[in-house]
Structure 1
Amino acid sequence: MGENTTPLDVRDADRVRTLTLARPEALNAFDEALYDALTIALHEASDDPTVAVVLLTGQGRAFSTGTDLAEMAERITNPDFVPGEHGFLGLIDALSGFDKPLVLAINGLGLGIGTTVIGFADLVFKSEDARLKCPFTSLGVAPEAASSYLLPRLVGRQNAAWVLLSSEWISAAEAHEMGLVWRLCAPDDLLRVATEHATRLARLPISSLRAVKRTMVEPLARQIAEARERENQCFADLMGGPANSEALAAFAEGRPADFTGLPDGA
């Protein structure tokens, strides 16, 4: 996929820092550079006394289509692959530890981390034409970003089971009905509405905003850490295995994956 030397756009206004994923040519898929850029930006926003709220959105027709599968395949096959400084796990650390309100404006397609990031958000606005998907089973891997713990808390066991097990698209209406997102907006109104709400929060004292967030998320810290550890172990066990290899080969060849001929248990 094409390279973008500035994978993240950062803008400040009225104590709101808007972070815009800026790889539209790659549907804002996360390569190592974007993982690092967003991780650093979250740390900087947390430390900046002039920032009260962070708003995260994407350029183009996607919010984020998750991990860059071309780079994932290279990571598996190229022994000389050089990972980023922070990578996926560093980003999840930053999201989990982010101590100010995090508002999402989901402008388009959201796959993988483009959906599971919702578990770490405080308010989620979504375009009426945006769709979400957790494609883990279709990629032959496991959940990520503590989604196996956070999604059931958000939407209930059975809704979360369908989202995580099925690898099927979730419409905007379905996401709103199950409580995965807070508000639906017309596409042209999304950023304005999300920014208005973020700005209203940002007028309040940062110390109080931090205190509210801490009291809400600190009781979950141990369970989030344990869920991440379970998921990471499952992901490591499955990555590069028969199902994952078939999924990546199918992606590279532009065909549907066929898992029916895999060894028993794969």
Structure 2
Amino acid sequence: MVPILTTTDNDRVRTLTLNRPDALNAFDEALYDELTEALRGAADDPGVGVVLLTGSGRAFCAGTDLKEMYARSTDPDFVPGEHGFLGLIDALAEFDKPLVVAANGLGVGLGLTVLGFADLALASTEARFRCPFTSLGVAPEAASSYLLPHLVGRQNAAWLLLSAEWISAQQAHDMGLVWQVCPPEDLMGAAQQHAATIAARPTSSLRAVKATMIAPLRDEIAAARERENAQFAELLGSAANLEALTAFAEGREPDFAALPGGG
């Protein structure tokens, strides 16, 4: 069976590659669980100094698997994974070593919001990004309502979160969402080089730098997640959310205007 997450180690850098290319590396419950376990394992492994996260195929990550989201919203017998989405965000928030992201292609939903947890983010010139939450009739996720304004400024974050429109890799760089943009053929080489440079430093110092940088944000991240989770739970399965998911399944655009109060 083809693994949905692959792992390679080189120069104290552990590269984790999302490997559901036919689903554009969208997260199903199994992938949430595998990446959660991989991050925890890397945190505990003394041979790992840095984790580099990327995707296989033409996408970095298309966010949550919408087919599975639809099943979760409509099937009373749906069985969630051991860790799920919330467990993965816990693992990202708790990860105490440097995290480098190499966005090799499109990043949607968690494929964008994970950048809020990255210490360095690089993107291919062919990458593009989108927060689809309002187009799905749901709330932000992964503390993005706090981390994105902190990272790119309030108005850039407002556009990303409210509009559900695409931005290019260059726009992402210009607003500070990614640190460097590279031609596709150079992306992984550049990401590996930067990750290896960091990983060559003592792990104790790397952890100290990350801990001191993140400490002022921890309470705000936790509070933002609590607010988002409450709003998401309220909106998941709502008329607007079901219209969005049904429209996706039927291959059409959702019609929120037809819903009472515009959804």
TM-score (ref. length: structure 2):
0.99
Please report how far the alpha carbon of residue 260 of structure 1 lies from its aligned counterpart in structure 2 after TM superposition: 0.5
Partner of 2:236: 239
| 1:229 and 2:223 aligned | no
Q: Deviations over 1:73-113 (max 9, x none)?
A: 01111111110000000000000000000000000010000
| 1:113 and 2:110 aligned | yes
| 1:200 and 2:174 aligned | no
| 1:16 and 2:13 aligned | yes
Q: Deviations over 1:199-249 (max 9, x none)?
A: 000110000000000000011111000000000001011010011010000
Once the two structures are superposed, the pairs formed by residues 70-109 of structure 1 within 5 Å of their partners are 70-109=67-106
Partner Cα distance (1:58, 1:125) in 2 = 12
Instruction: Give the letter for the 1:241 counterpart.
Output: S
Once the two structures are superposed, the pairs formed by residues 1-266 of structure 1 within 5 Å of their partners are 5-264=2-261, 266=263
- 2:256–2:262 Cα contact (<8 Å) kept: no
Partner Cα distance (2:164, 2:215) in 1 = 30
Unaligned runs of 5+ in 2: none
Please report how far the alpha carbon of residue 265 of structure 1 lies from its aligned counterpart in structure 2 after TM superposition: 6.0
- Identity across matched positions, percent: 69
The root-mean-square deviation of aligned C-alpha atoms, in Å, is 0.8
Partner Cα distance (1:243, 1:80) in 2 = 22
- Runs of 4+ aligned structure 1 residues displaced above 4 Å come to none
Please report how far the alpha carbon of residue 66 of structure 1 lies from its aligned counterpart in structure 2 after TM superposition: 0.3
Partner Cα distance (2:214, 2:4) in 1 = 29
Q: Deviations over 1:145-198 (max 9, x none)?
A: 000000001100000000000000011111000000000000000000000000
Count of equivalent residues = 263
Unaligned runs of 5+ in 1: none
Partner Cα distance (1:82, 1:5) in 2 = 22
Partner Cα distance (2:47, 2:253) in 1 = 48
Please report how far the alpha carbon of residue 8 of structure 1 lies from its aligned counterpart in structure 2 after TM superposition: 0.3
